Chains A and B, each alone.
Chain A
């Protein structure tokens, strides 16, 4: 059982959500959930009170729950209603500070209504605002609807374009199939009628089929692209901001030079040749299995012996 199914039990019938994952939960204005069947049962008896908080409800106020937490759904509903009234946009204000203050006020109203704090006072504030800014609200509403219409038109156009393309490709395929069938039929006819030997006819047919294929290929390629996927038509010069040329010095690798304050230490690889390893305990097979060899210990001892030997003292 996934955690989402486990999550929300209907507070009334408790079990139905688990048994029936497709059962939807509905939220209402008080922020409490009820499954669909419980909603029906509640309003069959004519009483309209929430099970948990006993607020009077209407059946139309129930909406399908979109979010896991019913409180979020409640807030979303309230927000929609508030924003219908408080629908000013950023260009309605003279400076950023005022816009931010306005947004802050809106948020406070939404918060108060969601958490049932000072509901009366908040509602009064909202009504006052509505009365004062009636015409601005109307104007913005009109603007909003216009914008939405434009968006919808664009969407529609796009959809139509897609449909057309789909139909065209279908038709193409049909035509190709038909052409193939025709040529086959023609071959059969010719085999029946003509006096020319069969092998030559077959060869001719194959030739023709090949030609047809190449023709189709060429047609496909002929579909010229006139426009980039971002919408910029090809061939248009796009003016970009000039990028400053950075002149940097080319990096040259310098190997690290470590000042050891002592005589130079022979390299690890040279130790054997120089005879150092004769004076170190030889590595046992079990040591060598782990990657150890006597040169490592020898090298470390020599390094430690020489490090700081010529260290200047005060």
Chain B
């Protein structure tokens, strides 16, 4: 359950500023490490800034979402949500320059399939990388298996992710049972799904409990459809007397909605510019295992230091 989960204890933060701070620190840590190592060609300008990393992060996140949606067999939504959450959590404490998002993205999806018990064999998984040849798929699989442990480690072994999909189902059932004022909750389902997909691309999962996100989704869709659901909170949830909690709820919902509004797809020219920079960094300073074919274990040890 969420209230005793590691997600609530360790991966729910108070506000967006603390998230920004963590990402900034991860970026700084990598920069300082590289500057201190004294490799040739190292200078401040070569590295990406935190906001540039953010653009690239959103780009790769969208690609992860597309990959999961195009996955055969069809991936359940909770698996997709878990994969994106892993991706987000990983890059909260690590810089994109240290580990290339292209690899990490695939590993997140792979791990999420395993954790959520959506059984896909590894060959089937890499078979979904349609643009690669068979050899390319092999190499991708090798990379995945190599970095999988690293991912688990950076997630601090907290692998269970509570996505808002089940709370959404639960709330719909509750509305149908106890709230006859709303005539056809099923009509809301499509827009709620849409809302939830969009919300996973924001930081809401790291800030709010999944039940609150689901509640926001439902109330938002209802108001969009012109149906009033205010009394649901006051009557059914018993919050008529408890003004404080009610206010807090409204506040949370407002914040979630504003996060959603702020999200925008990254612009292609920006993305390309930063991508070039990223590739440069990885080519020059990265321990890219594709280069050290025979020493890939060595490479892993170096990173884990």
A14–B121 CA distance with the chains assembled, in angstroms: 56
Asked if A285 is at the interface (CB within 8 A of a chain B CB), the reply is no
Total A-B pairs, Cβ < 8 A: 93
Nearest Cβ in chain B — how far from A294, in angstroms?
11
A308–B245 CA distance with the chains assembled, in angstroms: 12
Nearest Cβ in chain B — how far from A293, in angstroms?
15
Interface string of A290-314 (1 = CB under 8 A from B): 0000000010111111111111111
A280–B169 CA distance with the chains assembled, in angstroms: 10
* Contact yes or no, A306 B170, CB < 8 A: yes
B222-247 contacts to A, CB under 8 A, are: 237-238, 245
* Contact yes or no, B166 A300, CB < 8 A: yes
Interface of B is mostly: helix
Query: B166 contacts which chain A residues (CB < 8 A)?
Result: 300-301, 304-305
Q: How many residues of B contact A (CB 8 A)?
A: 35
Contact for B209 among A276, A301, A309, CB less than 8 A = A309
With contact pairs A259-B3, A279-B177, A310-B248 given, residues A305 and B212 touching in the complex (Cβ less than 8 Å) = no
B1-32 contacts to A, CB under 8 A, are: 1-4, 8, 13-15
* Contact yes or no, B212 A304, CB < 8 A: no
Contact for A310 among B1, B13, B245, CB less than 8 A = B245
Closest B residue to A276 by beta carbon equals B177
Most buried by B among A258, A278, A303, A304: A304
Interface string of B116-144 (1 = CB under 8 A from A): 00000000000000000000000000000
With contact pairs A260-B1, A308-B3 given, residues A313 and B174 touching in the complex (Cβ less than 8 Å) = no
Asked if A274 is at the interface (CB within 8 A of a chain B CB), the reply is yes
Residues of A in contact with B, size category: 20 to 34
Query: B1 contacts which chain A residues (CB < 8 A)?
Result: 260, 303-304, 307
* Contact yes or no, B174 A305, CB < 8 A: yes
Interface of A is mostly: loop
Asked if B282 is at the interface (CB within 8 A of a chain A CB), the reply is no
Closest A residue to B186 by beta carbon equals A279
Residues of chain B at the chain A interface (Cβ within 8 Å): 1-4, 8, 13-15, 162, 166-174, 176-177, 207-212, 214-215, 237-238, 245, 248-249, 251-252
Residues of chain A at the chain B interface (Cβ within 8 Å): 258-263, 274-276, 278-280, 298, 300-314
Top 8 A-B pairs, shortest CB-CB distance: A314-B14, A305-B170, A308-B209, A301-B170, A279-B176, A305-B167, A307-B2, A304-B166
Could you list 20 examples of A-B contacts with CB < 8 Å? Answer: A258-B4, A259-B3, A279-B176, A301-B169, A302-B174, A304-B2, A304-B167, A305-B166, A305-B169, A306-B211, A307-B2, A307-B211, A308-B8, A308-B209, A308-B210, A309-B249, A310-B249, A311-B212, A313-B252, A314-B15
